[in-house]
Each structure stands twice: as structure tokens, then as C-alpha cells.
Structure 1
Amino acid sequence: MSNSGEQPNPYAQQPHQPPQGPPPPPPSPAGPQPGSPYGQVPQQQNPYAQPQPPAGYGYPAAAPHGAPTAPMPGAGPAGYGGGPGGSGNTGKGMPSWLWALGGAVIASAVWAGVLAATGGLGGEPSPDLRGYRYQSDLCRSTSWTPFEDARFKMEDSSTSDSSGENPESSGHEDPALDSMWCNADLVSEDAGDNDYSSTLLYSKAFLHKKTDPAPEFAAQYRSYAQERSSTHYKVEPVRGLGDEAYLVTREETADSKGSYVVLGVRDGWLTYETTWSSYSSSNNSGRPDSTEVADMLRTSAKETLAKMKG
């Protein structure tokens, strides 16, 4: 059967129809975008999008969706998103925060060692006793030779005013402080029968096992110079005895009938003190003055401290 006229081809390309409505907007100054028949279309703002931080805060700029991101060179502090020229990794793929953690651990270990050595971790500092030992009888360890050379001897305990032995010693051992004392009554061989005289020698020694006596040692002797009374004292350092030593002398006048001299020595954590106190009813020319007494105390202290190490 013949068909009248030509049948339409359903697969044939339809002629291009112009778009309906208003003409398209002119292309943007940047030129038409590929694939867009109307040029560049302004991007609509997403009200739910996260705001991008300004440059310089160490965050990489936003990349198109699906594109890999890379940190900005030099952005952010080292160990937190990258250091100079970095990507946040240090060494062979090790993150910078791990390097920082390792440095903190090492620093903590060093500091802990320092505290342990100085007793800052609850441990007690090691006392610097310089080889000195507790003496159960300090009088036996005391050197009496300088006083004997000056013609002084021990007063007979049966005739002295003191009760007990002469010399007399005492002491006490303690985990914190060892204490030792020696008291002696001396009499001058040159004293006359009608001359009343009294010479006392007090010695004491301490082994400090918990606290270093150095910070306070000098202050207790310098305080003599601040004495506000009719009695005046002279304080002077002494060389050649321990770490530090001080000599305290009561100033004498023309009518002085006695002398008072104190010698204090610190050697490490040991402190030693000896005091000379004398009185005479007459101005006997044979009585030693403060300068001679100071020489006797220095010599005796040096020899006594040597014995305390034996």
C-alpha cells in the first residue's frame, strides 16, 4: 500500500529552537566558561558553609570537593600542622608532635635527675660531713696543748665550784643532729695565793645531718657586732680553718679584769665552737690578753678538728 506523502523520521535531529524568555545575561569579564552557553554564572553563597579562616593561621586554603589538600609551606607553628617548609612531619615520616613529645620526655628525665640529686623529689640531701665522726667524749678529743703551753691546767674537781668531773663531756647521737659538749675549769699556774681567778672553756660540736648550716652560720656571729649594750664586741673572719670561721672578741678597757673570746668554725656540715671566759680579781700581768687567747683557740680548734676525723 502506498503512503501519501513522506513519513516523519522519529530519529531525525530536530531543528534548534531559540530559547524562550528574556535574552541571556552578557558574559562576565573573565570570558565564557567552558560548557556554559551563558558565560560565567555567579556562585551562590551557601548559608550553611563553614567560614574560611584568613591566611596566616596555619590552615590550608579550601580545595575543590574531591581534590587532595596539602598544607601550606611554613604555615602554623612547628609540630602543629607543619613547621618551616614543612608539612607537619619531621624526619622520615615522623609527625612533629611526636618529636615534641619525645623532647618533653627527655627534658623531664633530665630535670628529674637533677631533683633526685638535690633531694627535690622527696629524697633527703646527703650531708657533707667531711669525714667527721661523732665523739662520745669531746673532751678527750680536745687539744689542751696550747693552754698548757700558756701555763694553764685543769682545776682540781674536788676544790672547784663545779660538781662532777673536770673536764666534763656530754653528747647525743640523733638521725638529724649529733651533739657534743665539753666544759673545763682552768686555773693559771701563775696566779697568786690571794688572787681569785676563774677561767672557763666551753666547747661544742654539731654534725648536721638534715640541714646545711652554711646559710645561717655567719649570721649568728655577726650578730655580736649589733649588740646594743655597754659591752662591745669585735667580729672578724679567720682564715685557714674549715670553710669559714669567725672570731668574736669582747673589747677590753684599761680596768678590764677578764677576757671573753669566741671562735666558731664551719667545715662542711660540721660546726664547732669554743669559748674562753676568764676573770681575775687583780690585774695580773701574767694573764693572757684577748690576742693571746685567740691564738690559743685557733691552735686548739685546728688540732681538735683533726682528731675528730680519726
Structure 2
Amino acid sequence: MISEPELTGGAGEDGRPVDLVADTDGAGFGDGPRPAARPRPPWVWVLGAVLLTSAVWAGGTYAYDRGHDGRPDLHGYRLGQSPCGGDTFKPLTDAVGAENDQPAPDLMGTGSPATQHRGAAVDRIRCDFNTRANQPEGGGTTAYAVMVSVDLHKKVDPRTEFDDDVRVLNDGLTTAGDVNSVPELGDKAYFLSSGTDSMELKVLDGGAVFTLDFSAYVQPNVSEDTLNGLDGGDYPLVADLTQYRPAMIQVTRNLMSALRKN
């Protein structure tokens, strides 16, 4: 008598029974072949990449915030001894052929012509320097005055303020008629002038702002009556300072170097 086969299984090609109930986790197959794993949907990989990128970005931002508190970088500048002593002004005194120099009175008590103020947000230092030289034509003497100011901004980046005042002279009221950028000096640098008898060099370097104000006046060796009789009174009472721009740049470099050494 022939019986019906059981529904729970049958024979494979090699004669071994084949289980008709699949084990989804691969257990219970013994040495037999396992079913192929179901591929993950693409969105799973995309989500994982997004989460990983977010974690890396958050970690990097945290590390950056820990090392940067928003204060401007002073590039190593700090106040100490006056940066206006020694040979700081030598490039200018050599360029104008100065006969003598007359530094401003010393208000620091350090033997150098400078005054300084230390504040919670800004440290400032100022110094003045005066000299004179004879006119090549022998018609008089030219008096030169140099004023240096340095502001070290410790809390707020001065870049925006510097850009706003790029055409304003050091008195804060006069607009410069001529502005020329200076390459390779600090972050930004400009020559400003409103005439031929005065000129300013402004430099921004990180949180530091340097200003070099250079002016001149010719004192003739003749009487006022003689001046009035010379070509209708046309006498060169002002000196053209544009020729001294390279010397002004070097003086500013000397100041920057001195404030890094303090």
C-alpha cells in the first residue's frame, strides 16, 4: 500500500531530507547552505553618513570654541618698554638728513619718550619725536614732527572700525584727500594725506592698530618782507613728504618688531 508523503519535508537531490520551514536567522542549518542576507535599503547608509558627519562637525566646533574665545589675535604684541627709543626713527632721520633730534618729554620715567595706558579692553602707547634739517637750497630749515600711536585691542576686533576710519586722519575730523594701500605690511595698511605737508601711515595687524603721523614745515631764513617780494610771495613753506614713504614704512616695521620683543 502506497502512503502519501508527509507535508513537513521531502528528499533532495542527494537523498537528504529538506526542511520546508526556513530559519530566518540562519540557525539550525548545520553544514548546509545559508540563505543570502537581505540587502539594507540605501537610506540606511545615507542616514549613517549624515549622523557621522554631524558628530565630527560638532566635535570640531567644540574643540574650536574651546581654543578661540572671540578675542582678536594680538600676534604677540604687548606693552612694555617704550618702542620709540633706540633706532626706531633712524630710517626717517637719515632720510631727511636730520641735524638733531628732540624727543618729547618722558612721561613714563623709563628714559624713553612715550606715554602708555593699560585698560580692560585696549592698551595704548603714544610717543612724539621732533627733528629739523637745513634746506638744500640754504633758504631755510625744515622742522619735522613724528607722532606714533599704537592701540592693542584685547576684547573686540578693530577691523570694522579700522575700515570705517580708513579715510579719516588721526585728528578724527579731517577726511583724507588721498588714500593709497601698502602691500605686505600687517593685515591692512594705508597712506593717508590731505596735502603735501603731512602724511599718515595706518596699519592693522590682528588686534593691533599702528598710526604714524609725519608732518613738516619750512622755516625760511629770510624776513617777511623778503618773502612777500619773492615771486609774489610764492615761497615753498611746505615740504613734499611722499619721498619719505619708504622710511615711514621701515619705522613702522621697527615699532612692530619692538612691541613683539617687549
Counterpart CA distance in 2 for 1:187 and 1:105 is 69
Q: 1:197 to 1:130 in 2, by over 3 A?
A: same
Q: 1:289 to 1:206 in 2, by over 3 A?
A: same
| 1:277 positional shift | 1.7
Q: Specify which of 194, 198, 213 is matched with residue 260 of structure 1.
A: 198
Q: Specify which of 246, 264, 267 is matched with residue 190 of structure 2.
A: 246
With a CA cutoff of 8 Å and minimum separation of 6, indicate the structure with the bigger relative contact order.
2
Q: Does 1:178 align with 2:123?
A: yes
Q: 1:214 to 1:115 in 2, by over 3 A?
A: farther
- Which structure has more strand as a fraction of its residues? 2
Q: 1:212 to 1:112 in 2, by over 3 A?
A: farther
| 1:235 positional shift | 0.5
1:283-294 aligned within 5 A: 283=235, 289-294=240-245
Q: 8 Å contact 1:247–1:262 — kept in the other structure?
A: yes
| 1:132 positional shift | 1.8
Q: 8 Å contact 2:186–2:204 — kept in the other structure?
A: yes
Q: Specify which of 177, 183, 186 is matched with residue 233 of structure 1.
A: 177
1:168 counterpart SS class: coil
1:277 aligned residue: 215
| Percent of residue pairs identical | 20
**One-letter amino acid matched to 1:147:** L
2:83 aligned residue: 138
| 1:236 positional shift | 1.1
1:137 counterpart SS class: coil
Q: Specify which of 86, 93, 97 is matched with residue 151 of structure 1.
A: 97
- Which structure has more helix as a fraction of its residues? 2
Q: 1:186 to 1:206 in 2, by over 3 A?
A: same
Q: 8 Å contact 1:167–1:183 — kept in the other structure?
A: no
Counterpart CA distance in 2 for 1:219 and 1:106 is 39
Q: Calculate the TM-score normalised by the size of structure 2.
A: 0.59
**One-letter amino acid matched to 2:101:** M
Count of aligned pairs between the two proteins = 202
**One-letter amino acid matched to 1:241:** L
1:87-98 aligned within 5 A: none
| 1:273 positional shift | 0.8
1:309 counterpart SS class: helix
2:165 counterpart SS class: helix
| 1:245 positional shift | 0.2
2:114 counterpart SS class: strand
1:289 counterpart SS class: coil
Superimposed CA distance per residue, residues 194-240 of structure 1 (whole angstroms, 9 cap, x where no aligned partner):
9465422110112211111122212212346xx998x8620011012
| 1:129 positional shift | 1.6
The RMSD of aligned alpha carbons is: 4.3
1:216 aligned residue: 161
Counterpart CA distance in 2 for 1:232 and 1:268 is 24
Q: 8 Å contact 2:202–2:209 — kept in the other structure?
A: yes
2:22 aligned residue: none
Q: Does 1:301 align with 2:245?
A: no
